[in-house]
Amino acid sequence: MSRIGKRPISIPNKVTIGIEGSHISVKGPKGELSRVLPAAVTVEQSGETLLVLRRDESRSSRQLHGLSRTLVANMVEGVSQGFQTRLEIQGVGYRAQVQGRNLNLNVGYSHPVQISPPEGIQLAVEGNTNVIVSGFDKELVGNIKAKVFVMSVKWLDAKLARQARSKNEAYSQRIKTKSASSHPRQSQRLSRTSAISSFSLTSAYLCPSH
């Protein structure tokens, strides 16, 4: 049995659970969430505890057991306590500000980048560079944070990609040289090529063109 899937889920106060087949709804002080779970698992409520069970021992059921339990647990925690994550943007002249419900980012583009959060997501800014994303849906909170992150480091990713490409090219060249030197014939071919290059350079130096 899955070590995660077999863990019971405690139901906090002021949280109500609705189960109709594969459809589960959770309502609490922060909001209401609902989800259709895979047919391979079932949810049972026993008092103030939820249990996520799998219908059989097939491979697909075992794979979905722990995932389904985590999704239900996140729903319960989200409507009761909510989720919050922080993101710090760093860069010369970088800053963020909230206008209404939207987040405006000045992150090196020729124009401010505006991010409009969906319902249930709140955005806040501390000190012009610390972005706070909060809400009762953990997936939405993570998606908005990822969107802010991508907008903030897009140019940096391109720069790092160029650096990585140049480093990989240099590394590949060293590998080719090393493999060639390890083979006798290739080593002789390389030394012959080097000698010809040296002779050409010497000849060009001793006999300059008029």
pLDDT tens column, 124-140 = 999 988 999 999 999 99
Helix, strand or coil for residue 24?
Answer: strand
Q: What is the pLDDT of residue 193?
A: 46
Q: Could you tell me if residue 201 is inside a domain?
A: yes
Number of domains the chain contains: 3
Segments of the chain scoring below 70 in pLDDT = 1, 153-210
pLDDT at 208: 45
Domain that holds residue 93: 84-160
Note the pLDDT of residue 199: 35
Q: What is the pLDDT of residues 98-119, one digit of tens each?
A: 999 999 999 888 888 999 999 9
Same domain, 77 and 106: no
CATH number assigned to the domain comprising residue 139: 3.90.930.12
pLDDT on residue 181: 53
Domain boundary among 54, 81, 108: 81
Burial of 178 (0-12, 13-18, 19+ CB in 10 A): exposed
pLDDT score at 178:
56
**9-22 pLDDT, tens digit each:** 999 999 999 999 89
Q: Which pLDDT belongs to residue 207? A: 41
The residue type at 141: V
C-alpha 39, offset from chain centre: 28
CA separation for the pair 150, 145 (Å, rounded)? 9
Q: What is the pLDDT of residue 88?
A: 87
In a domain, 34, yes or no: yes
Q: Quick check: is 3 in a domain?
A: no
Is 106 within a domain? yes
Cβ atoms < 10 Å from Cβ of 6: 14
Domain end, chosen from 59, 81, 103, is at 81
Give the predicted TM-score (pTM) of the model.
0.68
Assess whether 22 and 53 both reside in one domain.
yes
- Quick check: 145 and 153 in contact, CB under 8 A? no
